Every structure is written in structure tokens, then in C-alpha cells.
Structure 1
Amino acid sequence: MLWLGVAYLTSLAVLLITAFWTTNTFTTEIERVWNLDNFRQLWNIDVYRTITIRTLWIAVLVTVVDALIAFPIAFFMAKVASRRWQRVLLIAVLMPLWASYLVKAYAWRAMFSGTGPLNWALDPIGLHLGYGLTATVITLAYLWLPYMILPMYAGLERVPDSVLEASADLGAKGGTTIRRVVLPILWPALFAGSIFTFSLTLGDYITVKIVGGTNQMIGNAVYDSALTGNNLPFAAALACVPVVIMLVYLAAVRRTGALDNL
């Protein structure tokens, strides 16, 4: 862990240092002169602000969708299913992780195509999804759903059945028990799952290429700046954006005290 920590922090330091350099427009050579030109471009050029807001919105939406889907699944696994079925359902949740990321993404591309099953099923009611932000959110929510289910399942397993029985004995209905007993205990697990889904979505750039149509996320802009534009310093500055967003998010989660109870 120490070695991984040193390697990770060193790479972040190199990324941050490179972001303060520039690329010569004529020779494409990196000029190691410290300045804030790359960050000024990020702030002044509207397209990068739009891409950042779009990426942040998609990450939040994917996290919310995964949380809403994962809670009933995790609750059923932890509190309703028998021990035998818990193992079966756990394997079922983990099985999508065994498949290739690209295979799953391209499978959803086939689903969203003009002749795919989704558009065929929705055509009678006049809905046509196609490729775009909706397809991106649905695909990413599917890809990262196990990372939300597993922490919530582990958190719900720690909730004693006697607490739920006591709530019922005191006259609380199911919704009241979930809202006032289960969810306060589940917050640390929910935040743990959200860290995975939120961060993985922030850094993703392949899914939006496959099912996102003409839309871009921060990862696409970093990729294009580094390889197509041959501008590594600007790509490094752009890559700092999701890092800063995650640091702010982790700080906000830490202030809630949820991380102390993980």
C-alpha cells in the first residue's frame, strides 16, 4: 500500500507540474516555463466549461440512479432472501464484472441503435432514445451498479434484525422504518458506493464515445488534447478538473462524518 501510495501521489504531482507548462505552437515542444495559461484557457473557453458541467451532471445522475436501483436489491439480499439465495444473488451481482467493459458498452450500443430492441419496444408510444446523454447515463449506471450494490449490501447486513423488529413493534410502518431507522445507518455505505460510481463516471471517456453520439465528457477532451492536439500540458490541466472535483466531494463527505463510520 505504501508503494502504491507513493506511485499514485508521484503521478499526481507530475500531472500538476505539467499543467503549469505550455506547448510551443510551432515546434510542439513542451516549454518548461511556469505559467497559468492552460488554466486561463479552461476558464475562458466556453466549450470546456460546458463539458465540465455536463460531466458533473452525468456523474451525479448516474450516482442517484444507481442508489435508487441498488437499495431495494441490497435490502432484499440482506434482509429478505435466505442464506442460500443471498449467495446466488451475490454471484448474480458480481457476474457482470467478469465481462469485458467494451463488450457491455457495445451491447448497450446495439440496444440503443435505430433497429435495436429498445427503440423497437418504445416505437409504438412514439419514443426514440438513440445515442446521446440518456443512453450514456443508462449505460454508465448499468456498468457501475455492482459498485453501489455491494457496499449497500454490506451496510444493510450490519443492521440488526432486532432493530427492525423493534421499530415494527413500536408501530412504525415499513416506509417510516426505512426512512428513520435504516437510512441513517446506511449513509456510510451509501457514500462509499457513491464514491465509486461518481469517480468512475467522472473519469470515463469510452462509454460516451460508444453511445453518447456527438457529446463529450472531460475524459474525451483530455484524450483529444493529449493525442490529437499533442498538447500534454493542456491535457494535464484539464485532467486536474476531475481530481479537484473529487477532492471537494471527498471533503464534503468527510464533513458529514460518514467516512468515520465506514
Structure 2
Amino acid sequence: MTLPATAPAAARTTTRRRSPALPILLVPPLAWLIVAYLGSLAVLLVSAFWTTNSFTGAVVHTWTADNIVRALTDPVFRTVTLRTVGVALLVTVVCAVLAVPLGLYMAKIAAPRVRLALVVAVTTPLWASYLVKAYAWRELLSPVGPLAWATGYSPGYGLTATVITLTYLWLPYMVIPVFAALERVPNHLLDASADLGASDLSTLRMVVAPLVFPGIAAGSIFTFSLSLGDYIAVTIVGGKTQLLGNIIYGQLVTANDQPLAAALSLIPLAAVILYLLAMRRTGALENV
């Protein structure tokens, strides 16, 4: 009768002896997080308060808040910021509108083989090069491209083309979380709703929507943040459209003004933080 009592005690002793080694396993990821990520953000924040030599363009470590003030008060930067946030929100909404019916079909209607084929179809574009996909849409949306030839209309290059391209690029990041959330919805809840006389729309609104909202919230974080920081797609298909990423790139590379570029970079960083806080206040992320 003593063996069952001593075995757990031995197991607890072994666990205690091994527990000091567990924090060591956290050292590499924490070091990477602190040094590579938080360290780079700290340097970005500090460099926003520097200035540049007007003659040589060299960075001067003189503390000033002029770059922050200019980034927040300049009418051009303010307009571009509002346009960028609007594009990011619009891409997020369009991705959600497309992802919900597709995810619903994949999770609840499609046969297993069809579901597998759709999952492969959704995730396959993620393996393709970003530039290949962006330039493919540039060719497709060209005023003399295949779309104009087939339908007689093409949006050309501009803000509409940017939204379409970004929606295509980030749609898988919305479909996968929505599909996973819908797959976790028990079928008996749908059957019970139908048995109680609810219509399909009522079931979607009162039963499915609250359960799927965490997946939509999780996907929206990806689509919003990725659209907010993108500058390559708008360069390829945006025509004369300018988003915040292009302005930051221009200040860093063309104008050689690193402090102002750093100050402008704080705007999308703050926007993403505010968006995360808004999603957290909904309580959706706690259930993902």
C-alpha cells in the first residue's frame, strides 16, 4: 500500500528538480523579443526625437519634438493618415464579407473532399511571392489588360486598385480564422434553432454570429495591421495614390530624413495598438 503513495511523491520530487531548467528554455525567445523587437521599437522612438543636418543630411543626435509635431499637424500627413486608416478598415470589412460565406460553406456545407480542396485553394496563394501576386493584379487591372478586354471596364491604377489588391493579398488571413471558428460551432445548435422555428438568417444572426465573432476579430487584426503598413502594393497598383507607408519610405530613402520617417512610423504603430485595445474591449480575443 506504500507504493501508490511514494510514486506521486517521487514524481513531485522529479518535477521540482527539473523546474529550475524550465526558465532557461524561455531565455532565447525572450531575448529575441526584447533585443530584436522591443529594442528596435525603442530605437525607433528615440530616433524620432533627433534631427538632420540640412546641408549634409546626416542624423544629428539633438533632441527635438519638431518631427513629432510635424507628423501630427502637417495637413498632408494628416490626410494621408486618414486615407491609410480608411483603406485598412475597408480592406478588413471586405475581407470579412467575403470570408464569412466562404468559411460557412467550407465548415458546414461542403463535403470533406471539397472542404480540403477549398482549404488548399485558400492557403496556396500564401506560398506565392508577394511581388508576383501584386504585379499579376497590376497586369489584370491595367486599362488595357485582360479585365478591360473581357468586360470593357477596368478601375485602372489608383485607390480602388489598391483596395482590390490588398483584399486579395490578405483574404486568407481572414478566411482561416473564420473557418476555424465556424468549424467549432456545434451542429446541434443549428438543428435546435431550426427546430424552434428560426429562419436561416435568424440562426446566423442570433446563434452563429456571436460564436464566429472572435474569429472575425482575430482575422481583422491581421488584415488591418498588414494593410496599414503596406507600401509595396500601392506603389505597384496605386498610381498617384499615397499611403502612409509610401510617405515613410520616401522620407527614409528618397529624402534621407530618418528622424521624420521614424516619427511618421509611430502613427501606424499607435493605430495598431488602439485597434488591439478596441478588440480587447469587445472581449472577442479572450475566446480565440
TM-score (norm 2): 0.88
**Using the alignment, how far apart are the partners of 2:60 and 2:82 within structure 1?**
30
**Which residue matches 1:10?**
39
* Percent identity of equivalent pairs: 56
Paired residue secondary structure (2:240): coil
**Using the alignment, how far apart are the partners of 2:108 and 2:182 within structure 1?**
8
**1:117-136 correspondence to structure 2 within 5 Å:** 117-123=146-152, 127-136=153-162
**Using the alignment, how far apart are the partners of 2:263 and 2:147 within structure 1?**
39
Q: Deviations over 1:37-89 (max 9, x none)?
A: 00111123211111111110100000000000011111111111122222111
**Using the alignment, how far apart are the partners of 1:133 and 1:240 within structure 2?**
23
1:143 aligns with 2:143: no
Pick closer, same or farther for the CA change 1:4–1:157 going to 2, 3 Å: farther
1:220 aligns with 2:246: yes
1:82 aligns with 2:108: no
Q: Unpaired segments of 5 or more residues in structure 2?
A: 1-28
**Which residue matches 1:54?**
83
Paired residue secondary structure (2:239): coil
Displacement, 1:26?
1.5
Q: Unpaired segments of 5 or more residues in structure 1?
A: none
Amino acid at match of 1:172: A
**1:86-165 correspondence to structure 2 within 5 Å:** 86-123=115-152, 127-165=153-191
**Using the alignment, how far apart are the partners of 1:17 and 1:179 within structure 2?**
48
**Using the alignment, how far apart are the partners of 1:197 and 1:209 within structure 2?**
18
Paired residue secondary structure (1:129): coil
Kindly indicate whether structure 1 or structure 2 has the higher relative contact order, using CA contacts under 8 Å at least 6 residues apart.
1
Judge which range, 184-193 or 25-34, deviates more. 25-34
Number of residues paired by the alignment?
A: 259
Given that residues 141 and 157 in structure 2 are in contact (C-alpha distance below 8 angstroms), is that contact kept between their aligned partners in structure 1?
yes
Paired residue secondary structure (1:144): helix
**Using the alignment, how far apart are the partners of 2:186 and 2:31 within structure 1?**
38
**Which residue matches 1:21?**
50
**Using the alignment, how far apart are the partners of 1:243 and 1:35 within structure 2?**
20
Displacement, 1:105?
0.6
1:40 aligns with 2:69: yes
**Which residue matches 2:208?**
182
* Alignment RMSD: 1.1
Paired residue secondary structure (1:189): helix
Displacement, 1:4?
3.6
Displacement, 1:128?
4.2
Displacement, 1:120?
2.4
Displacement, 1:184?
0.5
Paired residue secondary structure (2:63): coil
**Using the alignment, how far apart are the partners of 2:228 and 2:178 within structure 1?**
21
Amino acid at match of 2:261: A
Structure number with bigger Rg: 2
**Using the alignment, how far apart are the partners of 2:241 and 2:192 within structure 1?**
51
Judge which range, 33-42 or 202-211, deviates more. 33-42
Given that residues 142 and 154 in structure 2 are in contact (C-alpha distance below 8 angstroms), is that contact kept between their aligned partners in structure 1?
no
Amino acid at match of 2:127: W
TM-score (norm 1): 0.96
